[in-house]
Amino acid sequence: MADLETRWDTPEFTMEEKQAAVSQSITTVILLAANKGVPFHHDQIKLIWRQADDS
């Protein structure tokens, strides 16, 4: 999806289309461990993006 960034926030781009775009773009989601008592933070999420030559 070449125009994903421009289409993402438009009302015509449905949740199903967003889910499909994400599933085609990301191969792995890694949740990094936190220290005890530390609340979750978005920096603990590591995304592995699909490379152009991946199937």
Separation CA 51–CA 27 (nearest Å): 9
Residues counted in the chain: 55
Q: How confident is the model at residue 55 (pLDDT cuts 50, 70, 90)?
A: low
Task: Report the b/e string of 13-45 with b at 16+ CB within 10 A.
Answer: beeeeeeeeeeeeeeeeeeeeeeeeeeeeeeee
Q: Does the reported pTM lie above 0.75?
A: no
Provide the pLDDT for residue 54: 56
Average pLDDT on 31-46 reads: 89
Which pLDDT tens digit goes with each residue over 2-35?
Answer: 578 889 999 999 999 999 999 998 999 999 988 8
